[in-house]
Structure 1
Amino acid sequence: MLKNVAEPEPESLDVTPTTPKAKSRTKVFALNAKDKYYALLFLGPSVLLLALFVFYPMIKTLYISLFLTSGLGKTTVFAGLGNYVRLLTSADYLNSLGVTLIYVFAVTILTIALGLLLAHLASETLPGIGIFRTLFSATMGVSVSVAAIFWLFIFNPSTGFLSLLSNWLHLPVINWLTQPNTAMVAVVITTVWMNLGFTFLILLGAIQSVPTSLYEAASVAGAKPGYQFFHITIPMISPTLFFVSIITLIGSFKSFGLIDLITKGGPTNATNMLVYRIYKDAFYSGNFAQASAESIILTVIIALFTLLQFKILERRVNY
């Protein structure tokens, strides 16, 4: 007779990793989970500050721009896009927009061109070149108020350097800050002078990082210095030029201090840039709704120009 043999019970499935590889994988997952908490812990204060001082003001500005406001900035009547339509059909605002674009293009082009020229000259190994490098970059340590006082003295029609030079050369004295055309030129010169130190240092570092072997090979091949500059230096520092162009253009759109201290938007609104107009509408006229709409329009304009730079200039960048 066959005896009943008890069948062995099936072993319970053990999902606990037993191999060293599985154990190490479990530890990695545990560390990754901890890293998320550490990341939240360290990023939390920064995200909170950004939310309080960047994102909330942006949303609040957009909200106010859709209303009419009282003199204290409280919203009263919903206006929709009325503030935007009123601005974009205003000859005064369009004049400020045109003045701003002229100023931005002039400052951006002159700052990059002069910075590139000075950086190229300062990259040469000449006796005493370190002194010139220090002088070219000295404007980085000058505050806006000091620069404004310095250039107000230079443009002074009575005792300024330019008036004394005109008298010495027997030329007519120009009252730079009281004539619309010359006031814009004066503000552009002052802004370029202020921005030149930073642009010069950045471009100088880029030029000095170009391998000398490229220039040596070009010299052996008979290439002239001008050809080397446009076909070796410019392509090699194109990422830095791209960065400087974006920074300079955005900074030019946001220029405020020099305009406030030198011309205050005058004469006859010849230097009334968009940023200074926002300041005057908000804190002089008390029209916070219109100033908010102007801020949103300026943000959109800066974003569009930055996107345009990426679309056009980034194609010419050699990484």
Structure 2
Amino acid sequence: MKGSSSLHAKQSIWKKSLNARTALLYLFPSILLFSVFVFYPMFRTIYLSFFLTDQHGSAALFVGLENYAYLLESQAFRNSIKATVLFVLYTVPAGVILALFLALIANEKLKGIGFFRTIYSSSMGISVAASSVVWLFLFHPSVGMFNRLLTLVHLPEVQWLLDPDWALLSVSISTIWLNTGFSFLILLGGLQNIDGYLYESAKIDGAGYWYQLRRITIPMLSPTLFFIITISLINAFQSFGQIDILTKGGPSQATNLIVYSIYREAFVNYQFGTASAQAVFLFLCILIVTILQFKFGERKVHYQ
């Protein structure tokens, strides 16, 4: 009996080992890609954040935490943090609410609604560069459409991208439009997965549209909303293309978000050490926001 039990245990261990090796073999391509494009750059960035570097990005002098201390004392970096926080507050809530509104409209069973679904999701197929160029013309102070409309209603023209009070809001508007297509498609898919029997039962009980929206639609859509809010937060912290094309961080550093500040510090000023410290700071901010989102936001998510 002991010999049979020992043999069975050895076979079980050998089978588990074989399964582990098979799993690693299947995972190897993904592990290799993540190692080259994610893990190595991440650890390299953390390493460089403790050094002063030369123009080629090589570590030259170990300074410890001095790069981080410099950032905390830098007024420009504090302005970048403020601009980034405001940008996130401008874009994420407005973008999610707009996408939800469009998804609710497009989910109605009306003739020709497919055309509007295509229009609402069209921004998803446009690159950041192309859309930013379009918005650059719309915001133009003399020939832009927005100032033309203000002139028609006898309102003063606005220097959309040249006025520090308007520049961040203008870039936020273009970002909301750019991200609406993706959020709209995901939310529409979530709405179409809600069982129609729930609405039929509610109608039989005399429930109106707003009651159904509050008691059925939003709770059943909460996993999708949770996903969209999380992704939108991460994307907002990482926005770069529209800043580079529309304002280049100006005017007066009003739109100098942390990502653009990292770019300028590394590839304009060739200070890769302080740029790496900013990148580590941004990573920690996104990590903390995501953890808080999962800790507090997921409590209100209904998965059934």
Normalising to structure 2: TM-score of the pair?
0.94
User: What is residue 248 of structure 1 aligned with on the other side?
Assistant: 232
User: What is residue 7 of structure 1 aligned with on the other side?
Assistant: none
The answer to whether the aligner puts 1:49 opposite 2:40 as a matched pair is no
State the shift of 1:52 in Å. 2.1
User: What is residue 275 of structure 1 aligned with on the other side?
Assistant: 259
Higher deviation after alignment, 262-271 or 211-220: 211-220
The answer to whether the aligner puts 1:233 opposite 2:217 as a matched pair is yes
User: What is residue 136 of structure 2 aligned with on the other side?
Assistant: 152
Deviations 1:192-242 (A, max 9, x none): 111000100100111111112222222222222112111110000101111
User: What is residue 198 of structure 1 aligned with on the other side?
Assistant: 182
The answer to whether the aligner puts 1:215 opposite 2:194 as a matched pair is no
State the distance in 1 between where 2:16 and 2:64 align.
47
State the shift of 1:93 in Å. 0.7
Which of 272, 280, 301 is the aligned partner of 1:288?
A: 272
Residue 77 of structure 1 aligns to a residue whose secondary structure is strand
Which of 96, 99, 122 is the aligned partner of 1:138?
A: 122
The one-letter amino acid paired with 1:217 is: S
State the shift of 1:37 in Å. 2.8
State the distance in 2 between where 1:117 and 1:192 align.
14
The one-letter amino acid paired with 1:182 is: W
State the distance in 2 between where 1:27 and 1:65 align.
49
* Unpaired stretches in structure 2, ≥5 consecutive residues: none
State the shift of 1:102 in Å. 0.7
State the shift of 1:79 in Å. 1.3
Higher deviation after alignment, 56-65 or 289-298: 56-65
The one-letter amino acid paired with 1:100 is: T
State the distance in 1 between where 2:153 and 2:63 align.
59
The answer to whether the aligner puts 1:117 opposite 2:136 as a matched pair is no
Deviations 1:230-256 (A, max 9, x none): 111000010111111100000110000
The one-letter amino acid paired with 1:53 is: F
State the shift of 1:77 in Å. 2.2
Which of 2, 21, 28 is the aligned partner of 1:37?
A: 21
The one-letter amino acid paired with 1:245 is: I
Residue 61 of structure 2 aligns to a residue whose secondary structure is strand
The answer to whether the aligner puts 1:104 opposite 2:54 as a matched pair is no
Q: Larger helix proportion, structure 1 or 2?
A: 2
Aligned residues with identical type, % of pairs: 45
State the shift of 1:28 in Å. 7.2
Contact 2:46 2:280 in 1 (8 A): yes
Higher deviation after alignment, 88-97 or 196-205: 88-97
Q: How many residues align?
A: 302
State the distance in 2 between where 1:53 and 1:207 align.
35
Which of 15, 38, 46 is the aligned partner of 1:62?
A: 46
State the distance in 1 between where 2:169 and 2:108 align.
31
Higher deviation after alignment, 126-135 or 212-221: 212-221
Higher deviation after alignment, 199-208 or 221-230: 221-230
User: What is residue 3 of structure 1 aligned with on the other side?
Assistant: none
Deviations 1:274-300 (A, max 9, x none): 000000000000111000000000000
Deviations 1:153-172 (A, max 9, x none): 11112221112222222222
State the distance in 1 between where 2:219 and 2:25 align.
43
Q: Report matched runs for 1:66-105 at 5 Å.
A: 66-105=50-89
Instruction: Give me the CA root mean square deviation.
Output: 1.9
Higher deviation after alignment, 88-97 or 166-175: 166-175
Deviations 1:30-71 (A, max 9, x none): 654433333222222221222222112111111111112223
Contact 2:90 2:169 in 1 (8 A): no
Residue 68 of structure 1 aligns to a residue whose secondary structure is strand
User: What is residue 6 of structure 1 aligned with on the other side?
Assistant: none
Which of 279, 286, 290 is the aligned partner of 1:306?
A: 290
State the distance in 1 between where 2:207 and 2:184 align.
26
Please say which structure displays the higher CA radius of gyration.
1
The one-letter amino acid paired with 1:68 is: L
Residue 161 of structure 2 aligns to a residue whose secondary structure is helix
